[in-house]
Structure 1
């Protein structure tokens, strides 16, 4: 659920003043003052999604809508949030009955993540950086890293030979390389000017041994052996471990080693930065990028003096959501694209005299209090940027303090407690007091006390299980009425660690309460649907992959280790499906079954092959056998993967390519979706951000929240100086220990703020005061009760004690829930029920399949992938994470250029438009030649563009009860004298004149869709054709041709339609596709 679902009836859309809100003026200004920049601080539940939507709708209603909407760049943290925001905005625009031109302009606006926007910039301008033709996103780079390591022969080229030799005495090359690979920050350093210092350890040897004589004496002896080896040999000398924990001795030890460690640190940073750069270049040479690369490359683009003005010429109007989760490099890209074309340098680097972002071109909305994802240094930079924007007049500060989520009790509780927690001291953020909305309900905050006696000698997990059972019993007895929740789906239990969710799930199941776990699978590869299909594709591509085949036999087909051992007889090579296996038994039978499947799909296209694998292995049925309460809706996940396969086929991927792409993204973050089941939601506090429920329970308040031990070496950034430091072991970490603990505590305090601001009507705090005290009988320092400062004698102790211990029903809340209008746009976009066969029989009556005509030419779809009109046709997880080749770049440029031509003006205006845009062409010589051909054709056929011309005309036509056709016609001309439409599609395929017939056949399915849709929508005759830019020829289609083609297409069911989109229509074109460069855009 979004952050504004509790909006009261006093709120109005379109930026109208919101009566009764203390921050109404701020909201009105943000929505209506379109010529100003704003930095908005929006508290929990304050409706920032609605505020951004209102601003976009106000743009759509303004006189500048047609010009400004295509320039709009709305950047959010996830694709799901972007789609939700785009869907809401489109709904309001349609309800406002705005003109078709405005709707078409809105369809060209960008809604997406910062990484998607950076890829959009790289698609258009990446050739200026010398990037390869194709860039593919990878999330699992183990194989790439291993290849890099094998060919990387010299570590430390950036150091002098002497410094390099000394450094490698202290650190192994492997450590330096792993440091460069795993560092989450950009490393940059210079070689120290001084040579390795001659450190003295006299103070250590003189240190008193009275406090811990044995351990200190042992430490001194170890140091003496180490120093002798260091000074007398050239051998490798690992850092000596300090064998005592005596605080004073450790301080002396660290001070003695500091000069040497600082020098090693500087050299190691220099080498790690070198390896980091080399590894990125290695990836780029192979067309591979990680998420961080996308932003870094876009940043490099905006530093090129000949490219930055061209990007800024687009007049992008940036609205950034979740600004607190944005890092400095991402801020740099967004700020630079919002500056005027004549700006030089970087605004944040050269504030004095530098041109700031244009008014109305940069707004950001965030909340310091909800910064829980990023490096603490990034939070500090965000706060600095906010203050800088306000101080320089580049933006105005606005605050949204009214919460449309929390009822009175929760609001008062948060205001009473978090003023002392988020206190704006020592780097912690300041608390923004929440204000009530009009017609607010009472709400309730419950302190749940446990009555059972606890044996503290029990293992922690057993105590957690006992608490979970008590909580489950209380929920069962209390019921939905007293929780003030409409359904169990509106009840959530939040924990700071996902490992804590399992005992809760088991206890709820035992109590016969429905439960859904959201956070036990963070990676897509942890889903059985994803993992099993990936494994099946892997063995189909490599029939001798014995390790993977054994995994398939064990995990998918359930064969025992004993059966596998007996079959192999010690020979692992027997696990293969390249040929038929001899012998009898379940293992041989299953291998032969997989062998037959592989033979059957050998000549099938990708989509059909994947469907056949799913059918013949009974993968769907096997997934259904898994417990739904633990793994969720695997059936829908499998449908989603099949849809991705259809799109992959349209992009030209083979079965092996598709399997490899799934494998490469095995560790990608998996977005959660709301479950359709009426079940209690178990979720971590991190993943709860941005969501809300009627009732929220926070258990395990006194349990110690532990972190995984850090891996060394690791790089950290100083929040105050922004300098990078390398921690080689725990001794290094000791000098930063207090600061790191403070940073961690402050982040967890903000996480607790997030958890306690998710409840609309009921917040339950499970106060397990006797369950998890430490050995001294005190609450753990790293526990939620300590972060809340509600432990014994702490500042919020009395607030906690004053809470009610009994949940009560509220008739007014129940009445308000029943009378509340249901929003037609869901807060989250749920999983897509795309199914075929069994799912189609069950849901086919209700499901409407949307088909894009552009999909009928697969390579064309790839080329269109970066265009806004097709981005809205493709689901976010299906958008190709790659940049296409030169042909596609050229096609993209051509379409953007002809879209700007003022067709109703004289030809000299057309020429002026071309002159302005040819500088952005990836192939200016080709552009000039093809523009000349078009000009000559129009001159010779003066009636060609006679009539009312509409560039990029969108349509959405319902074909029947189950299928809709959605697309955008490149050029539509209404000829009043003939009462007839003429539609034209630009084709930039690099062909010769003798190949025009093949081109006509290739695009006939797509043009038939356009022809039929326009004819049915307008009820007027339609003529159609394509224009080949390479030959300067117009290729018309006869009405009979199109009728016959449509007759063939309309008989296809939804599955066949999807498969048809990935298939070439004519055998002739299929046979000669190697001669045609279908890089059309």
Structure 2
């Protein structure tokens, strides 16, 4: 279809090749306009390779790139416009010129979880006067300050040097904290450099350093382009603006497209000054401010929606060229519905019913969205929609952890890491598996108080001692305690991902998922798989990958609300209602939009704090910011005057967010709120936005509660137990179990059911007869084994088969028990803790002592005493019992390394402790080879050593004996070849016997003809 541009679009498309700002209102076709502008340049002789388009997200960049290809297809055969994100453009500069400013292209990019982890490590190790009792808050302060420094191109020393000599007590106290934070931030930055780590903000700051330190490079970059398109320019931060002006300010024709009314990412560093002051930042060649052209004809929304959007827009300060939205000539009136409910649950239920009604009238679920101001409201809405069997898609980062199936697994993981994590414990005990009631919890709490326990877990672990529990509840708790202990033991010996998989299997998730409707089952499996994938891909920056560290990592990811890793996956089912935050909805549109939670203090939200740098140490003083001139009026205020100014700035931020929310709708927007909120004692009043909408001529007033009434009783959406069954009463379970045990009781106890049961039994019998035989799993699990078994495989493949595949009984081994006890003592010595529980043999890679390879006259000594006299007793291990798993060949290897020492920086020694004497068995080296490969491949830590060695340390004699080998690249390569060969044999065979003197001590000798023949021969 040929575009017929409006007069506004035509003026922008035909504007000469020089700087211009385009003030594009919501839904006005800005992407189409800038694509056409570039098309006009190409038609006028500009080569596509001389043009550059920059936007914010990868998705937006892909869309712009595809639109340009479509538009320019007839103009050029192979030449394309370069399109990048703002960070991608900075990265391309660093890939080419980064070494000039010390940037390593191989640096690893930190996500928010790892940033938090590194921040905590640095805070603990750097001397300061900061209050570390609230560690999460201090980590957030540190990262906020570090980000602000990068966005405003400041070093930590420049910030410290900017401290005033005097001021009021509160301001000077804030500066003391800021200097402490800056000192820690300096260490944080040096640690990033040492570990080869970078952040997104580093990319921009380093690129700026390149173009400002080397003006000839800036000129070279500018000379590559005649035309530059900057999309969503209102969301850029000051450092990004400096990068762009340094390169393109004096040369290429820059078209900046944006809307100051949609600047909703100030909390991420976006500066209102960038778009507002673009004419001065990118002046004309004669020095005068650049011109601004408007785009105001809305091509998306109907009239009532535009009327409301303009009402909100009128509350915001306007920039030159920004005009109210104008509806397209063919726009309909649309629908604007407002409603006010007694409670949030009534509101959510009504929304679900209304969505279902509209769907029955022809509105697709996929053309419907629910936008919320706060993520916390999403679970309640999901529950309401599920009550009406409405398919949902939750696309907001962080909401994965709130989805019921993931939240259940996460709750188990939390109590495995910390048994006193009561919120997680209560979720499990009150959930579907155990169904404890408030009376049961009260009994547990009373008992915990009686025995002076820190949490109710002490009561849960000893239910027989708790008064007031029924026999059924006590049995349930006994079962829970056994599962919890089993999972805690498992977690000590396995990786985080394996522990999560064990939890999933133990709690029966796969069986529960199979019982769901096909669409729900697929969604549930995808959600769990996404969570497991996060765990599989996680490695700590330093140290052991423990469950507790993983929990801190995902909590930090979740808190950031920015990482796509915690966004629920989208199934192939396309017809689903979208739930997301208003921030997440920017750039999207739907035919029908619901905007719930519109009560005062809900939306608009009041500021939790006023961003006053005189009161908050993580904020930069106004005078040190790159946009200081824009903030000069605010900087001149103090006290109540500043508070009023900051309150107004927050209100304007909320207005911009409301404007974005309303303009997502094409035909219908329904806005609602509620009086009573769960757990709150005071009634709420309608939001100003809800009242604005009600006052728009033509708005439809739906259900509206005039009086607050009494707060409602909290109840879940589905609670069938509250209504007694007409036949069985409240005790359906007892009746069901009785009938299962003795079907004849149906006729005696429930004569009304005889005919129905007989008919249903007949139907089920027919259905069972029609069932096909189960087929084999078409996708068997990939081969995986422990290092211990890998050694057995190297010794004798047939022995491995009987250990791993066709498992045969094995004799108890005193040597194994002795080795496990010894390993446990050494582990606790290295960790500096006392034992929580008896050690499990499976907790360690304890390869058995092969008596055939040691002296027959040897009598075991006390290995612990020998260890205490060795060099290892006085060395601090960098890693202790470090779990790992890595893929190789046709499978994977897992295990735990006893200890890794770092005798000098970058030099690692991998040590495996043995409670026996040195062995001549060559197969044992496979264990150290697997350990070295795990370290080299980053399966133990994201950091790898500059050089390493591997050692067996034997403590079974009168003194420690060591067997060591140096490791280099050739050694690793040969080790990988050998391990891959063994893994392939372990997975597929052949499992041939390899007789040796060790056959005399093999558990399986009675089954092995080859072994018996070897021992009876003369060999």
TM-score normalised according to structure 1 size: 0.48
**Are 1:435 and 2:326 matched, yes or no?**
yes
**Matched residue, 2:943:** none
**Secondary structure of the equivalent of 1:279?**
helix
Q: Kindly indicate whether the alpha-carbon contact (under 8 Å) linking 1:494 and 1:697 is maintained by their aligned counterparts in 2.
A: yes
**Matched residue, 1:751:** 657
Q: Kindly indicate whether the alpha-carbon contact (under 8 Å) linking 1:422 and 1:429 is maintained by their aligned counterparts in 2.
A: no
Match of 1:83 among 37, 53, 62: 62
**How far apart in 2 are the matches of 1:713 and 1:699?**
33
> Relative contact order (C-alpha < 8 Å, sep 6+): which is higher?
1
Match of 2:102 among 130, 134, 146: 130
Point out where structure 2 has 5 or more consecutive residues left out of the alignment.
Answer: 437-443, 445-455, 464-480, 704-775, 781-969, 980-1019
**Matched residue, 1:491:** 368
Structure with bigger gyration radius? 2
Q: Kindly indicate whether the alpha-carbon contact (under 8 Å) linking 2:23 and 2:257 is maintained by their aligned counterparts in 1.
A: yes
Q: Kindly indicate whether the alpha-carbon contact (under 8 Å) linking 1:177 and 1:272 is maintained by their aligned counterparts in 2.
A: no
**Secondary structure of the equivalent of 1:122?**
helix
**How far apart in 2 are the matches of 1:504 and 1:532?**
18
**How far apart in 2 are the matches of 1:308 and 1:721?**
29
**How far apart in 1 are the matches of 2:198 and 2:37?**
34
**Matched residue, 2:122:** 148
Q: How does 1:852-891 map to 2 (within 5 A)?
A: none
**Are 1:691 and 2:588 matched, yes or no?**
yes
Match of 1:46 among 17, 23, 28: 28
Q: How does 1:11-160 map to 2 (within 5 A)?
A: 11-12=2-3, 18-19=4-5, 21-29=6-14, 35-55=17-37, 64-65=46-47, 67-68=49-50, 72=52, 74-92=53-71, 96=74, 98-99=76-77, 101-102=78-79, 105=80, 109-112=82-85, 114-132=86-104, 133-140=106-113, 141-153=115-127
Q: Displacement, 1:121?
A: 2.4
Match of 1:466 among 318, 333, 346: 346
**How far apart in 1 are the matches of 2:354 and 2:19?**
50
Q: CA RMSD in A?
A: 6.1
Match of 1:328 among 225, 234, 238: 238
Q: Kindly indicate whether the alpha-carbon contact (under 8 Å) linking 1:118 and 1:294 is maintained by their aligned counterparts in 2.
A: yes
**Secondary structure of the equivalent of 2:578?**
strand
**How far apart in 2 are the matches of 1:130 and 1:389?**
30
**How far apart in 2 are the matches of 1:618 and 1:123?**
49
Q: How does 1:420-569 map to 2 (within 5 A)?
A: 420-424=314-318, 432-438=323-329, 440-448=330-338, 463-477=343-357, 481=361, 486-510=363-387, 512=388, 514-516=390-392, 518=394, 522=398
**How far apart in 2 are the matches of 1:759 and 1:278?**
48
Q: Displacement, 1:445?
A: 3.0
**How far apart in 1 are the matches of 2:702 and 2:425?**
52
Q: Displacement, 1:328?
A: 0.9
Match of 2:278 among 382, 385, 400: 385
**Secondary structure of the equivalent of 1:764?**
strand
Q: Kindly indicate whether the alpha-carbon contact (under 8 Å) linking 1:76 and 1:320 is maintained by their aligned counterparts in 2.
A: yes
Q: How does 1:275-354 map to 2 (within 5 A)?
A: 275-305=184-214, 308-309=217-218, 312=221, 315-316=224-225, 318-338=228-248
Q: Kindly indicate whether the alpha-carbon contact (under 8 Å) linking 1:505 and 1:515 is maintained by their aligned counterparts in 2.
A: no
Q: Kindly indicate whether the alpha-carbon contact (under 8 Å) linking 1:318 and 1:334 is maintained by their aligned counterparts in 2.
A: no
Q: Displacement, 1:279?
A: 2.4
Match of 1:359 among 235, 244, 252: 252
Q: Displacement, 1:526?
A: 5.8
**How far apart in 1 are the matches of 2:353 and 2:89?**
49
**How far apart in 2 are the matches of 1:175 and 1:448?**
39
Q: How does 1:203-218 map to 2 (within 5 A)?
A: none
Q: Displacement, 1:738?
A: 0.9
Q: Kindly indicate whether the alpha-carbon contact (under 8 Å) linking 1:422 and 1:431 is maintained by their aligned counterparts in 2.
A: no
Q: Kindly indicate whether the alpha-carbon contact (under 8 Å) linking 2:208 and 2:243 is maintained by their aligned counterparts in 1.
A: yes
Go from structure 1 to structure 2 and tell me whether the alpha carbon gap of 1:598 and 1:784 turns closer, same or farther (over 3 Å shift): closer
**How far apart in 1 are the matches of 2:673 and 2:136?**
48
Go from structure 1 to structure 2 and tell me whether the alpha carbon gap of 1:515 and 1:308 turns closer, same or farther (over 3 Å shift): same
**How far apart in 2 are the matches of 1:700 and 1:36?**
46
Q: Displacement, 1:521?
A: 5.2
**How far apart in 1 are the matches of 2:373 and 2:494?**
45
Q: Displacement, 1:693?
A: 1.0
Match of 1:185 among 135, 143, 148: 148
**How far apart in 1 are the matches of 2:419 and 2:380?**
37
Go from structure 1 to structure 2 and tell me whether the alpha carbon gap of 1:401 and 1:545 turns closer, same or farther (over 3 Å shift): same
Q: Kindly indicate whether the alpha-carbon contact (under 8 Å) linking 1:191 and 1:267 is maintained by their aligned counterparts in 2.
A: no
**How far apart in 2 are the matches of 1:261 and 1:769?**
39
**How far apart in 1 are the matches of 2:127 and 2:57?**
39
**Secondary structure of the equivalent of 2:264?**
coil
**How far apart in 2 are the matches of 1:534 and 1:778?**
33
Provide, for residues 124-148 of structure 1, a one-character-per-residue CA deviation record: whole Å limited to 9, x for no partner.
3222222355233231223312332
Provide, for residues 508-546 of structure 1, a one-character-per-residue CA deviation record: whole Å limited to 9, x for no partner.
444x2615263675366667899999999999xxx9999
Go from structure 1 to structure 2 and tell me whether the alpha carbon gap of 1:176 and 1:769 turns closer, same or farther (over 3 Å shift): closer
Q: Kindly indicate whether the alpha-carbon contact (under 8 Å) linking 2:334 and 2:667 is maintained by their aligned counterparts in 1.
A: yes
**How far apart in 2 are the matches of 1:432 and 1:585?**
67
**Are 1:401 and 2:304 matched, yes or no?**
no
Q: How does 1:448-847 map to 2 (within 5 A)?
A: 448=338, 463-477=343-357, 481=361, 486-510=363-387, 512=388, 514-516=390-392, 518=394, 522=398, 633=523, 635-636=525-526, 663=553, 666-667=557-558, 669-671=562-564, 676-705=573-602, 706-707=605-606, 709-710=608-609, 713-714=616-617, 715=619, 718=622, 721=629, 734=640, 736-766=642-672, 783-785=688-690, 788=692, 799-800=695-696, 802-805=698-701
Q: Kindly indicate whether the alpha-carbon contact (under 8 Å) linking 1:492 and 1:696 is maintained by their aligned counterparts in 2.
A: yes
**Matched residue, 1:204:** none
Go from structure 1 to structure 2 and tell me whether the alpha carbon gap of 1:476 and 1:433 turns closer, same or farther (over 3 Å shift): same
Point out where structure 1 has 5 or more consecutive residues left out of the alignment.
Answer: 1-8, 13-17, 156-167, 197-257, 339-355, 455-461, 571-583, 603-608, 791-796, 808-836, 842-1063, 1074-1081
Q: Displacement, 1:734?
A: 4.7
Q: Kindly indicate whether the alpha-carbon contact (under 8 Å) linking 1:534 and 1:662 is maintained by their aligned counterparts in 2.
A: no
**How far apart in 2 are the matches of 1:431 and 1:839?**
60
**How far apart in 2 are the matches of 1:66 and 1:111?**
14
**How far apart in 1 are the matches of 2:677 and 2:974?**
75
**Secondary structure of the equivalent of 1:372?**
coil
Q: Displacement, 1:399?
A: 1.8
**Secondary structure of the equivalent of 2:206?**
helix
**How far apart in 1 are the matches of 2:427 and 2:358?**
44
**Secondary structure of the equivalent of 1:695?**
strand
Go from structure 1 to structure 2 and tell me whether the alpha carbon gap of 1:620 and 1:81 turns closer, same or farther (over 3 Å shift): farther
Go from structure 1 to structure 2 and tell me whether the alpha carbon gap of 1:495 and 1:52 turns closer, same or farther (over 3 Å shift): same
TM-score normalised according to structure 2 size: 0.51
**How far apart in 1 are the matches of 2:67 and 2:546?**
36
